[in-house]
Structure 1
Amino acid sequence: MSLAREADPDVEITRLDAASYSAGMLGVTTSPSLFAEDKVVVVDGVEQGPDDLFADVQAYLPAPAPGVVLVLRHGGGVRGKKTLDALRAAKVPEVTCDAVTSDADKTAFVMAELKRAGRRADAGAVRALVDAVGSDLRELAASCAQLVADTTGMIGVEAVERYYGGRIEATGFRVADAAIAGDAGQAVALLRHALATGLDPVPIVAALATKLRTLAKVGATRSKGQGALRELGLAPWQVDRALRELRTWTPEGLAAAIGAVAAADAEVKGEGRDPQFAVERAVLRVAAASRD
């Protein structure tokens, strides 16, 4: 859409939510305007759409409206497969967007967004932003745009915490950071706050697992030199942080913590009766293991 705006600042952009789609909406939004202006129509969450949407897309396909760019965003799954197959058979351009899940990819995304805007952020600020809003790339991009618009110069941790501090405090990675550091009291306090504000236990356990995997990878590779560490696919600041954190960990403690988090992962995904108790127990076990 930004490219469309660059090409024509007056282009009409319409977004449709597939989940609330009604029959005929596509025809209405793609119909020529009074002054024949170009249009961009984006349908989000096609996989959640009703049969009416799929029927309208297939009816539209043989004769698309001139001057209209129709973007269909499908989040995966089998729903709408017949329509997707019809689009592919018609050689409609398809862009595959792999999910960005790792911290390294999110960090790279933030840095690219800021670079495109002609701005920079220090490593701590990038990490804080990823911790706060990194679960959704659109939200992460919007956060970058806000920081660019509302700050000047190098973006530091202070600016990120000013805008997103409350969210940072409630993220799974803050819980994980405290547990990895062996600060059981802080970890549990952050955990209870996160749960009280609606954070699900599953991403908290995932954050613990991610942190421990990073420690395990760096710990197993550090004796092989900097070249091997660079091949891990981690950002330099992640490697540096892991090396610092490993000073309080033994291989036995790390193995115990990984086992505790693996057990909690199964419990919060249905094998246990109380997901919140399971994640709190895992946090305490990780904190204790860091001193073993």
Structure 2
Amino acid sequence: MPAAPARSSTGRGAGKGPAIPQLPWRNPKAAPVVLVSGPEEVCAERAISTIREQLKAEDPALEISDIRADDYTAGTLLAVSAPSLFGEPRLVRVSGVEKCSDAFLAEALAYIESPQEGATVVLRHNGATVRGKKLLDAVRAGTGGGVEVPCPAVKRDSDRYDFAAGEFQAAGKRILPAALRALTSAFADDLTELAAACQQLISDVEGDVTEQVVARYYGGRVETNSFVVADTAIAGRYGEALLTLRHALASGADPVPLVAAFAMKLRTMARVAGARGASRQVAAELGMKDWQVDRARRDLQSGWTERTLGLAIQAIARADAEVKGASRDPVFALERMVTVVATRRPFGA
């Protein structure tokens, strides 16, 4: 996931955006008030941990306190942020601001008007509700000398690819493009697991991380991954696709993500099919990566036409409904979908 560059705005009011710096989650900075916003918990945890490490490096005597905004005792924020007898710096981590109590909201609004000297208060709001919006607006308007660290959701393939690439780049570790694609495909459904896999490879592997290394560590996962099933069917290898599907199901794969992988691949192929121009140009127009365009074009060369793309997309839509409850036999729904995609013909034809 690309990190947004730090920026600052002096404009205030509706339509002018935040008046405080917006810092990338990989490189946050401590401030009297730090708003860590957005739904991606992995990124939020990294940002808060980095701030803690920065403050701890500056003064090992750092005092750390944790507060739950939804289970708040009046007076706690002021008590834990107040200077101690020996004046140690304080870090106050506040979780659950999206469901904060009235007592916390009132005291936090009062606090940011006059933050305690030597204290860093980190407010974690995941954006799940509008609760606490008055506090967020006040922080974003510049009250309290705060900064914001946005942690937007990582949803697209390209975002996961960028996230994993950033993990290796931050560690100064080289991973080959094919290995990075294999790794992100193997952990397409869980960013926390992808982050853990990246860190394991970074810490365990000497030298470059290759596709063979990824296969050695996560071969079982890669082999039964939803995207491997989709790739095999899209390539037209019918028998192999059915065997791969059964292997995936036997390994515990969920039918819903399996269908989602097919849908993602076919939608990408359909979008790229009508596009003309160099890969970089098409990628920029469609909001993709160059390699995604190249891959979709290679997939399309295995006998796909406008008619067969439409047929496959219809089969995937039917399977999607069936694995979500419209059918009593999700396995048959998956096999029928794989059959249509791999053979490019209506089921039973």
Bin for the TM-score computed over the shorter chain = 0.7 to 0.9
2:33 alignment counterpart: none
Percent identity between matched residues is: 41
Matched, 1:199 2:253: yes
**Greater alpha carbon shift after TM alignment, 65-74 vs 245-254:** 65-74
Give the distance between the partners of 2:210 and 2:92, measured in 1 at CA. 36
Residue 295 of structure 2, aligned match among 241, 244, 267? 241
Residue 257 of structure 1, aligned match among 298, 312, 316? 312
Answer with 1 or 2: which has the greater Rg: 2
- For 1:19-71, what per-residue CA distance to the aligned partner results, in whole angstroms no more than 9, with x for missing partners? xx75549949x836887443252526x65x6xxx5345325412378424223
Report the 3-state secondary structure (helix = DSSP H, G, I; strand = E; otherwise coil) of the residue aligned with 1:82.
coil
Contact 1:214 1:242 in 2 (8 A): yes
Contact 1:58 1:83 in 2 (8 A): yes
Give the distance between the partners of 2:258 and 2:75, measured in 1 at CA. 40
1:269 alignment counterpart: 324
Matched, 1:100 2:154: yes
Residue 69 of structure 1, aligned match among 121, 143, 164? 121
Residue 134 of structure 2, aligned match among 82, 85, 89? 85
Give the distance between the partners of 2:76 and 2:155, measured in 1 at CA. 36
In the superposition, the TM-score normalised over structure 1's length comes to: 0.79
Pick closer, same or farther for the CA change 1:103–1:82 going to 2, 3 Å: closer
More helix as a share of residues: 1
Contact 2:279 2:293 in 1 (8 A): no
In the superposition, the TM-score normalised over structure 2's length comes to: 0.67
Q: Which residue type is aligned with residue 164 of structure 2?
A: V
Pick closer, same or farther for the CA change 1:138–1:250 going to 2, 3 Å: closer
Contact 1:254 1:290 in 2 (8 A): no
Q: CA deviation at 1:15?
A: 7.0
Unaligned segments of structure 2, at least 5 residues: 1-48, 141-145
Matched, 1:5 2:43: no
Q: CA deviation at 1:141?
A: 2.8
CA RMSD of aligned residues (A): 3.4
Q: Which residue type is aligned with residue 284 of structure 1?
A: T
Q: Which residue type is aligned with residue 54 of structure 2?
A: E
What is the count of residue pairs matched by the alignment? Answer: 281
Residue 95 of structure 2, aligned match among 26, 30, 43? 43
Contact 1:43 1:73 in 2 (8 A): yes
Residue 266 of structure 2, aligned match among 209, 212, 216? 212
Give the distance between the partners of 2:65 and 2:75, measured in 1 at CA. 10
1:112 alignment counterpart: 166
Give the distance between the partners of 1:160 and 1:22, measured in 2 at CA. 43
- For 1:71-125, what per-residue CA distance to the aligned partner results, in whole angstroms no more than 9, with x for missing partners? 313252x4xx332334424547554433222212211222222112212211111
- Map of 1:185-196 to 2, 5 A cutoff? 185-196=239-250
Unaligned segments of structure 1, at least 5 residues: none
